[in-house]
Every structure is written in structure tokens, then in C-alpha cells.
Amino acid sequence: MKETNSENQLRSVFAGPLKRKSFLKYTALSGTVLVLGLESCKKSNHGGTSPGVIDVGSGDPGILNFAYALEQLEAAFYIKVNASFYSNITDAEKSVLTDIMNHEVAHRDFFKAALGSAAIPTLSFDFSSINFSDRMSVLGTAKALEDTGVSAYNGAGQYIQNAAYLTLAGKIVSVEARHASAIRDLLNPLSGDFAGDDVVDPATGLDFSRTPNAGSPSIVATANTFLATKISATQLP
């Protein structure tokens, strides 16, 4: 597929810091959504294999929609956390959780604008298993979501064909890894858990990676634990 003017402009955005203002500024051009070349591609079929299930699609649009689904989930979770903080939260913890919320909302909004009409619908959520007034319940869930997000981006990167999309994924996963480390440090301060052997391979020093359907539970299964609108990734590796 021939690279579009939108993709060329996107590359110039990636040359600088990836901040919320950059996300929102460069996803619109003269009042028109700046789509990552996806509007000129064949749109993905988001019909799931089961009624009520949304499939993220295939190829680069499918990978970006999978990321968009995870960002929707993370943003919704942190918005709920910040709406009513758990008991006895410290100012430092509030600051961390507020910053993470702002990042996740920026990621979510960017993917929605960038995907345009190729985006999956807005999802609905089920957080009934989380006690938002309990510190360990909130931070334990945050740890699971952040670790899952990092491994998902790492696993998807090898399948992204478009260099601009790969750059985007690389910039976002670096932020997600910072989130994961921050949450782990809140749970176990001044320890090596910020980069524990369960997430970083001690032999290589590299983060573990997983494709959407690999492992037990898979990334899709973990996400669906908190989704009322279930997703599938049957067309992705």
C-alpha cells in the first residue's frame, strides 16, 4: 500500500516527544481526523465468532485495534480509580495514579482518532470483581493490566508491517513499562520487583512478550475478565 500524506506527517510527530498535546494536535488536520493510512485500506470485519463478541480484525488495523481495546480498558479502570480513591491513599500514590490515568486516556483517544472509521466500537466494562475502596485490590488489578499491556505490545510488534505504526507502538510500550514499574514499586517499595523475573527474562534482560491468544490465561482472556463487551483476536497471530 502506498504511503499517504497522513503517514508522512505522522512520522514527523514521532520525531518528538509523545505527549498528550502531541497526540491530540496531530490526530486532527484542518478539522479532519488524521487517520494512519487506514482509511485507504480495506476495513476490517469486526464481527466476532460469537454473538456480542467484537473481533479486532486482521493485519496492522487489527493489531492497532487490539491495542485500542486494551487502552480503552486501562483508561476506564484508572478513571474509576481516580473518581474515588481507595482508603488511606497517600498523596504520592494519588499523583502516580492520576498521571497514569492521563497517559492512558491520551493513548485511548489517539487510537480512536487515528483509526477513524476502522476503529472497533467503544467497549463496555465489568469491574465488579474489583474492590475500588481497597488498596491491594486496586493496585493488584493495575499490576495485572500494566504487565499484560506491556507483554501485548511486545508480542504484537513483530507482526506490524508499517514502520510508522511500529514506531507508535514502541513509544507507547515504553510508557506502559514505566507504569508497570511504578505500580510494582507501590506494591513492593525499594525492591527488585519493579523489574521482577516474572516480567523480565533474567537471562536476556528483555521483557517477556505474548501474542493475543498465547498463554493461559491469554491476553484476550485477561482483558475479557474486565469487559462486558467481549473481544476476540481470531484473525491475529
DSSP string covering the chain, please?
A: -PPPHHHHHHHHHHTS---HHHHHHHTEETTEE---SGGGSPPP--B-SSTTPEE--SHHHHHHHHHHHHHHHHHHHHHHHHHSPPTT--HHHHHHHHHHHHHHHHHHHHHHHHHGGGSPPPP-B--TT--TT-HHHHHHHHHHHHHHHHHHHHHHHTT---HHHHHHHHHHHHHHHHHHHHHHHHHSTTSGGGG-TTTB-TTT--B----TT-SSS-HHHHHHTTBSS-EE-TT--
Within-domain flag for 214: yes
Within-domain flag for 177: yes
Cβ contact 120:68 at 8 Å: yes
Within-domain flag for 184: yes
Number of domains in the chain: 1
Within-domain flag for 164: yes
Predicted pLDDT at 36: 52
Within-domain flag for 47: yes
Predicted pLDDT at 197: 72
CATH number of 169's domain: 1.20.1260.10
Query: What pairs with residue 33 in β-bridges?
Result: 28
Within-domain flag for 172: yes
**Domain assignment of residue 123, given as a range:** 5-232
Within-domain flag for 237: no
Tens of pLDDT, residue by residue, the chain (237 residues): 444 444 444 444 444 444 444 444 444 332 333 455 555 444 445 655 577 899 999 999 999 999 999 999 999 999 999 999 999 999 999 999 999 999 999 999 999 988 999 999 999 999 999 999 999 999 999 999 999 999 999 998 889 999 988 888 899 999 999 999 999 999 999 877 777 777 777 788 777 788 899 888 899 999 999 999 999 999 998
Within-domain flag for 79: yes
Strands 231-232, 54-55: pairing is parallel
Predicted pLDDT at 236: 94
